[in-house]
Structure 1
């Protein structure tokens, strides 16, 4: 967290969560194997319990009023970007690139919602392996960092081409609806201007709030697919749990926390303390994930996950601009 607060790292959109998994992977492939017997239980608690706690407390960063600030256009843009990006990821990943569905959906979630936090929140629903999660997080880091340098250039080009509405608000909404991580949104929008930064962050927060309904729908979809694959077990009751919806309680708790935070009952100092605890919990979860990741397993994943993430990045840049333009023209 101290490293993540350094200005030069913030400039490149490297948050505490990104640094945590990178440091975790370094230790996980050097020192950790020697002390895994002693530390394994704590690492497991971090990967599971602290992860869910972190997702729930993340709700204290958001309010329902954020939706009102971007209006119907912002909500519709975020929805279309999320659905199109995740749908494209699944179709290309599973049918063209022949990637395993879990890796594909993790990459899709990270690209379409909120980067590493979305990947981590999706992992319990899919019961994914550590190396699958790490591959997905790696793609978010690579292309999210690239966004920081690309979007200011696109802003200058937009001043001449007028694809999006002129001024900070239109381009800020574009940044918030298409860039991967919250930290990367802040870093990219800072280079455009203060007005763009405010709009980008609010738009991004609305996109983050869509994580909860996304997890609920994904859980129902996963349960239906399991029931189709094991129809006999489902009817006989042999393994009934395989066909039931894995209700992500932390997603519901996340929504409840957002609603509570919207009442503004807690003083700012308390909110700041809670968000610090939240960052600590998520950073520990990311570090634990890194510790459990073997570089050899990530290497075996090959070039296909990176190719999928590259295509999604292209869609977010080009398709996201088209979605922003069409929705704004339709609404206004």
Structure 2
């Protein structure tokens, strides 16, 4: 535990700084600030030896174990009752957006030769719930930390751009508050980015966006399970013998969803869980950001950028189509 403390203390300090940034600049989502802070720290030459040395054990705990705990607590944000209130058309179109974006991004990533698990991780981030989904899928597939660097950077970049781009398109596209909220919830990656983007259109748009977004978050469990099942069928894949079909933290996430749906939890418990979930994910995403090196991103070149931007356009286009169908 003593060896892990320096890295954990750094991650906790970074989470507090990200929170202060969010307080000062409310349009910057806390988790996005945590990832960006990690990326910036990783580019400081004087800090890099510590990141791979004395800080590494604690950062590894944050990026793996704290991430999983945060995802379990994320389930307490979801209620099947709220999701059912969207109606079957909205639910089915939201699921379709997730599945089509996921499959399309994987296909493009493999066609362009992205290495290892990167196509699956990019697809998870853009189709489900940003860097949190990348971490969850990486944990389930036992992907290396290096494989997460490009997907996390891409989804952070595009999600941050969405905060400015989508509101600018709200009126030109002729969307109502409800329609804009649905579009944002179905097409923006991280929950915090959804809130930052939708709030410009008012409380109605924000409420719809959050419920639609959490419906996408609920897809995390089946998408992870299906992906792991497919990977296990590949005899050359090392994850075939090491990975459970439904990882324990994914089962915990589903249990938290059911608990929040069927058990009347007191407000103080939900508020405390929300704070804990945010803190854990902020620490974890800082640690993931701290593993990113721009020099390594440059080696992937234009291929990763093309996949990320295309996936962003795909999910936004499909989400807009879902709004029109609804």
Q: Give the TM-score normalised by the residue count of structure 1.
A: 0.85
Bigger CA radius of gyration: 1
In the TM superposition, what is the alpha-carbon distance from 1:294 to its structure 2 partner?
3.3
Change (3 A) 1:285 1:301: same
Residue 320 of structure 1: aligned partner: 319
Distance in 2 separating the partners of 1:221 and 1:106: 14
Whether contact under 8 Å (2:141, 2:239) holds in the other structure is no
Matched, 1:102 2:117: yes
Whether contact under 8 Å (2:231, 2:240) holds in the other structure is no
Q: Deviations over 1:221-254 (max 9, x none)?
A: 11112x2x37xxxxxxxx8963865431111110
Change (3 A) 1:42 1:8: closer
- The counterpart of 1:201, out of the listed 207, 210, 228, is 210
Distance in 2 separating the partners of 1:19 and 1:240: 32
Q: Deviations over 1:151-186 (max 9, x none)?
A: 223220122xxxxxx532223112111111111111
Alignment of 1:259-278 (within 5 A): 259-278=258-277
Distance in 1 separating the partners of 2:250 and 2:77: 15
Distance in 2 separating the partners of 1:180 and 1:43: 24
In the TM superposition, what is the alpha-carbon distance from 1:7 to its structure 2 partner?
4.7
Residue 9 of structure 2: aligned partner: none
Q: Give the TM-score normalised by the residue count of structure 2.
A: 0.87
Alignment of 1:45-64 (within 5 A): 45-64=61-80
Distance in 1 separating the partners of 2:134 and 2:51: 27
Distance in 2 separating the partners of 1:207 and 1:249: 20
In the TM superposition, what is the alpha-carbon distance from 1:35 to its structure 2 partner?
6.7
Distance in 2 separating the partners of 1:131 and 1:9: 30
Residue 170 of structure 2: aligned partner: 155
Alignment of 1:14-93 (within 5 A): 14-29=28-43, 30-34=46-50, 36-93=52-109
Residue 200 of structure 2: aligned partner: 191
Corresponding pairs, count: 308
Q: Note the residue ranges of structure 2 that are not aligned, 5 or more in a row.
A: 1-14
Q: Note the residue ranges of structure 1 that are not aligned, 5 or more in a row.
A: 160-165, 231-238
Distance in 1 separating the partners of 2:279 and 2:121: 23
In the TM superposition, what is the alpha-carbon distance from 1:27 to its structure 2 partner?
3.1
Q: Deviations over 1:42-64 (max 9, x none)?
A: 22222221111111111111111
Distance in 2 separating the partners of 1:117 and 1:206: 15
RMSD over aligned Cα atoms: 2.2
Change (3 A) 1:131 1:298: farther
- Which stretch shifts more, 316-325 or 182-191? 316-325
Distance in 1 separating the partners of 2:231 and 2:256: 26
Change (3 A) 1:268 1:80: same
Distance in 2 separating the partners of 1:217 and 1:140: 22
Change (3 A) 1:291 1:55: same
Change (3 A) 1:121 1:240: closer
In the TM superposition, what is the alpha-carbon distance from 1:8 to its structure 2 partner?
5.3
Whether contact under 8 Å (1:66, 1:206) holds in the other structure is no
Whether contact under 8 Å (2:32, 2:192) holds in the other structure is no
Residue 223 of structure 1: aligned partner: 232
